[in-house]
Structure 1
Amino acid sequence: MESKNPLLLLSNDLCVHGEGLTSNKKMLKDASILNMQDFRYLTPESQQELLESHGTVYIITSANERPLPRLLDIFDNEKYHIKAEECQDADKSAYPYILNAKLMELMLEQKQAKNRKLSEQMSSYLIAMDSIYTLSSYDRKEDIINHTKEFFAMMCLPENLCYFEAHNTKAQSDIHLTDFQKKEIVAFLKSNEYYKIAPSKKSFCFRLALQDRDEGIFVLENIAYPSRLHEFLNLTLSIRSVLSLVLENIARQNELVKSHNLLADANDMLKVINKILRHDLANNLGAIKMSLEMNETRPNPKYIQISKKAVDRSFEKINDMKGLENLIGTGKDLNCYEVKEIIEKIAGTDIEMDISIDGHCKVLADNALSSVFENIIKNAIAHGKANKMRITMAPSGKYCHISIEDNGTGIPDEIKTKIFKEGFTEGGDSNSGLGLYISKKVIERYGGHIAVKDNTPNGAKFILDIPSTK
């Protein structure tokens, strides 16, 4: 959001010296200077419009100034009021210097306060990142919940921290509340809200989706720093989304291990996911630590932005891991899929490519098959710079033979044997290098094969043979 210029309101006996404040113009970012008397003469609508167009309001008055307009008290600007008593007995030529000194002192205090707030935010993000990293290593719901309670206790310092499962009415009746009324919690349970703030603005609760459609409720009452409630709540909602993903991942893993035939492949895939997750989160934690150390020596808002971006990258990576887990076998029987329908659905999204499809074929697969085609198409666009693709398919013995040809730059011979390997990326690309690796694993799980060749006259050609069904 673009920052607004400050507004200086000077009392009538000081306004004549307002031009002397130009030495602060650079620090004040071209602040507007206005006589308080002129401000009073404006209509309430004009006063409001003026305040809306500015940010911080510096009010500089003599000790005998009349009461300030009420609008200054009720409007949502950040306000600072300076009474320049020294100006009463000073030489008028000294007024600008006195006013400048007062403003400089106030702006220094503001800067120090903002730096302290930035340091607090940096510490909060660092703690949150460390907590996310730890949560990603757990595989039991009980461990995750206990760690989350420890995180909230350390971050928010609540007087009372409760957790209970929403379906457990006995636990609900036994919880000890100090700031929330139980009827408020009951109403919250019946609503579709993710969180609720207590009327005192010192407490909040939020729901967490558990396994098998159960829900858990965290209640934090009388936190130590109510002024930071919304900051804590934002972090809490982020942690909540991570917890939901981790718990969902645990549920998926439990389903995977039920299938002995897919256990080996599933474990291999999970190792890849965990390795990338640990690696990328560790890198982001390093960025957080470095920016925090830089902020300690040279405070600057850009360091908090570095921290925020590192947090965002971590959440994106965790979501990527969730997407990758969808490519792992569910342990259920394979079903019949019409290949053309799957490709047409992908082509009907925001894919920027002209795709033609010829032929029909039904294969034995699962819902990971769409990700295979999506990976190939997106790779052709991102790496091959292709804008056209021709897909043909037809039954061939016990297989469905599928040819995917694009008009891009093609794939060099020296990397054709590498593109299906775990973690392979080309040209320093920032992606995880998992797309085609997982595509190969998925096709092989179906009992099929995938290969890549050169297309004529240019581009790449992927050949897929997937067991068909009559």
Structure 2
Amino acid sequence: MESKPPIILLSNDLYYHGTGLTSNKERLKDASILNIQDFENRDPESQQEVLESHGTLYIITSANEGSLPQVLNTCDNEIYRIKAEECRDTEKYACPYILNAKLMELLLEQREAEIRKLNEQMSSYLIAMDSIYTLSSYDRKEDIINHTKEFFAMMCLPENLCYFEAHNTKAQSGIHLTDFQKKDIVAFLKSNKYYKIAPSEKSFCFRLTLQDGDEGIFVLENIAYQSRLHEFLNLTLSIRSVLTVVLENISKQNELEKSHNLLADANDMLKVINKILRHDLANNLGAIKMSLEMNETRPNPKYIQISKKAVDRSFQKINDMKGLENLIGTGKDLDCYEVKEIIEKTAGTDIEMDISIEGQCKVLADNALSSVFENIIKNAIAHGKANKMRIKMEPSGKYCHISIVDNGTGIPDEIKPKIFKEGFTEGGDSNSGLGLYISKKVIERYGGQIEVKDNTPHGAKFVLDIPSTK
């Protein structure tokens, strides 16, 4: 796009000598030279039209020149002014040379100022490029935010620099502002704009999209180089674009890692299912075959009964696999569950035990949580011969602390470290040994833990800590 030609306004006493001003100056090529008095005599629309059709405005007046036209105080043109005091009493033939020298001096100062500005911008962009390179190497949101704060603190030297996440109302109420009003920040959060400049034009804020879909807000107040405010805003646009890409990549990497871990867990569970089914069903089929062969040789109802029991065990084994199916389906998001409701529903099925429940907690879990309580209760009945159980729950920091105590025979010390291991069974028991193994896996998937402890004077005690939700 071609730039607009400059315009030179000369005072009335200098206009006569100004014909040679643009003869050998490239920067003033095609410049228009007007008499200030003639310009002022134009109507306002004509004055505005002249200014809009030109670019940089050079005003050259002598020392005794009066006030300038009012329109020059409100125009958008870049304005430079020269007062040519030497022209007042000098010979007329010398005026063009003096004016040329003054104009050349101004042009040189203008060029030097532009070079300084370009150097400053170049330095800023080199620092920004280095910062962008550094940002691309981070893999944690916290590191990215801290580095971005350091970058803008170094570039803008603000008196006050704040950062908070938009969803964090506590952080919003706690921010300290010196130039912005809090209502300005609230209005900015509700808008679709990516930045906002304070009314004083000394401060600005901008938003950043985080990998969790939320937004982070940076506030920089009373920056040191206020004349470079718009340059800094251009930098924020570049930094913001890079940060968005980096944070999106981190989010995708986290999702990939999570999916990889879930797939690995699912693969492990499939191996467990396959191993148990092959082993236990093969044993049951062998028992059925042997019983039927013996019944053919010596018919006896007990052989038929053995076969039926083996068939029942096979069906039970297949039902046991449903607990593992919950572990395989780990891609579902966790939801809020009321623990007391889960226990009451589990205990209200076919459980023959007196169960008391104290307290109340809400946890982040899924539908596999019921299998945890079912396994613990059934183990207390089958192995501990318990007929009473007391379940107590209470909030404990970020967790729901649940203790499950029965009145059974308890768990021997020598097998406590083994009960959560895959396939562990006690005393030749025909069960697969999956119940407590599944329970441990489920609780760990929620980000919690489960352990067994001694109970006084007898019985077993299980302690669960599950992340709670407020």
Q: Could you list the per-position Cα deviations for residues 185-217 of structure 1 after superposition, in whole angstroms to 9, with x for gaps in the alignment?
A: 122222222111111111111111112222211
Partner of 1:55: 55
Counterpart residue type for residue 48 of structure 1: Q
Aligned counterparts, 1:141-180, within 5 A: 141-180=141-180
Distance 2:136 2:227 in 1: 30
Distance 1:263 1:124 in 2: 46
Distance 1:263 1:239 in 2: 36
Aligned counterparts, 1:260-271, within 5 A: 260=260
Q: Judge conservation of contact 1:196–1:205 (CA < 8 Å) in 2.
A: yes
Q: Judge conservation of contact 2:22–2:29 (CA < 8 Å) in 1.
A: no
Counterpart residue type for residue 15 of structure 1: Y
Distance 1:32 1:87 in 2: 21
Deviation at 1:2, TM superposition (A): 2.4
Q: 1:258 to 1:22 in 2, by over 3 A?
A: closer
Counterpart residue type for residue 257 of structure 1: E
Q: 1:27 to 1:193 in 2, by over 3 A?
A: closer
Q: Which runs of 5+ in 1 are unaligned?
A: 265-330, 334-470
Partner of 1:234: 234
SS at match of 1:100: helix
Partner of 2:28: 28
Deviation at 1:262, TM superposition (A): 11
Aligned counterparts, 1:85-96, within 5 A: 85-96=85-96
Q: Which runs of 5+ in 2 are unaligned?
A: 265-329, 333-470
Distance 1:88 1:104 in 2: 19
Q: Judge conservation of contact 1:24–1:100 (CA < 8 Å) in 2.
A: no
Q: 1:90 to 1:262 in 2, by over 3 A?
A: farther
Aligned counterparts, 1:262-341, within 5 A: none
Q: Could you list the per-position Cα deviations for residues 16-70 of structure 1 after superposition, in whole angstroms to 9, with x for gaps in the alignment?
A: 1112224344231221111122112211111111111111111111222232110
Deviation at 1:96, TM superposition (A): 0.4
Distance 1:174 1:41 in 2: 59
Distance 2:95 2:250 in 1: 69
Q: 1:246 to 1:157 in 2, by over 3 A?
A: same
SS at match of 1:80: strand
Q: Could you list the per-position Cα deviations for residues 403-448 of structure 1 after superposition, in whole angstroms to 9, with x for gaps in the alignment?
A: xxxxxxxxxxxxxxxxxxxxxxxxxxxxxxxxxxxxxxxxxxxxxx
Distance 2:227 2:78 in 1: 15
Partner of 2:373: none
SS at match of 2:162: strand
Aligned counterparts, 1:356-367, within 5 A: none
SS at match of 2:228: helix
Distance 1:196 1:37 in 2: 42
Distance 1:96 1:87 in 2: 9
Q: 1:119 to 1:263 in 2, by over 3 A?
A: farther
Q: Judge conservation of contact 1:25–1:31 (CA < 8 Å) in 2.
A: no
2:219 is the counterpart of 1:219 = yes
Distance 2:179 2:123 in 1: 27
Root-mean-square deviation (Å): 2.1
Distance 2:233 2:158 in 1: 13
Distance 1:124 1:140 in 2: 25
Distance 1:32 1:126 in 2: 39
SS at match of 1:224: coil
Distance 1:8 1:191 in 2: 44
SS at match of 1:259: helix
Distance 2:170 2:190 in 1: 17
Partner of 1:256: 256
Partner of 1:454: none
Distance 2:20 2:194 in 1: 53
Distance 1:46 1:165 in 2: 52
- Pair member with larger Rg: 2
SS at match of 2:202: coil
Q: Could you list the per-position Cα deviations for residues 125-160 of structure 1 after superposition, in whole angstroms to 9, with x for gaps in the alignment?
A: 101111111111100001100100011101111001
SS at match of 1:23: coil
Deviation at 1:94, TM superposition (A): 0.3
Q: 1:138 to 1:263 in 2, by over 3 A?
A: farther
Counterpart residue type for residue 41 of structure 1: N
Distance 1:90 1:177 in 2: 58
Which structure would you say has the larger RCO, counting Cα contacts within 8 Å and 6 or more residues apart?
Answer: 1
SS at match of 1:77: coil
Deviation at 1:332, TM superposition (A): 8.5
Distance 2:121 2:228 in 1: 10
Distance 2:259 2:165 in 1: 30
2:137 is the counterpart of 1:137 = yes
Partner of 2:341: none
SS at match of 2:80: strand
Distance 2:103 2:7 in 1: 12
Distance 2:161 2:261 in 1: 44
Distance 2:45 2:170 in 1: 56
% of aligned pairs identical? 81
Q: Judge conservation of contact 1:257–1:263 (CA < 8 Å) in 2.
A: no
Higher mean C-alpha displacement, 60-69 vs 131-140: 60-69
Q: 1:22 to 1:258 in 2, by over 3 A?
A: closer
SS at match of 1:164: strand
Q: Judge conservation of contact 2:59–2:81 (CA < 8 Å) in 1.
A: yes
SS at match of 1:33: strand
Distance 2:148 2:205 in 1: 13
Instruction: Please list every run of at least 4 consecutive aligned residues from structure 1 whose deviation after the TM superposition is greater than 6 angstroms.
Output: 261-264
Distance 2:255 2:75 in 1: 56
Partner of 1:383: none
Partner of 2:3: 3
Distance 2:73 2:176 in 1: 39
Q: Judge conservation of contact 1:166–1:189 (CA < 8 Å) in 2.
A: yes
Partner of 1:73: 73
Deviation at 1:260, TM superposition (A): 3.3
SS at match of 2:212: helix
Counterpart residue type for residue 214 of structure 1: D
Deviation at 1:263, TM superposition (A): 9.8
Distance 1:60 1:129 in 2: 42
TM-score computed with the length of structure 2 as normaliser? 0.55
SS at match of 2:55: coil
Partner of 1:18: 18
Aligned length: 267
Q: 1:192 to 1:20 in 2, by over 3 A?
A: closer
Q: Could you list the per-position Cα deviations for residues 65-105 of structure 1 after superposition, in whole angstroms to 9, with x for gaps in the alignment?
A: 23211011110111112121111111110000000000000
Distance 1:220 1:175 in 2: 12
Aligned counterparts, 1:203-218, within 5 A: 203-218=203-218
Deviation at 1:258, TM superposition (A): 2.4
Deviation at 1:251, TM superposition (A): 0.5
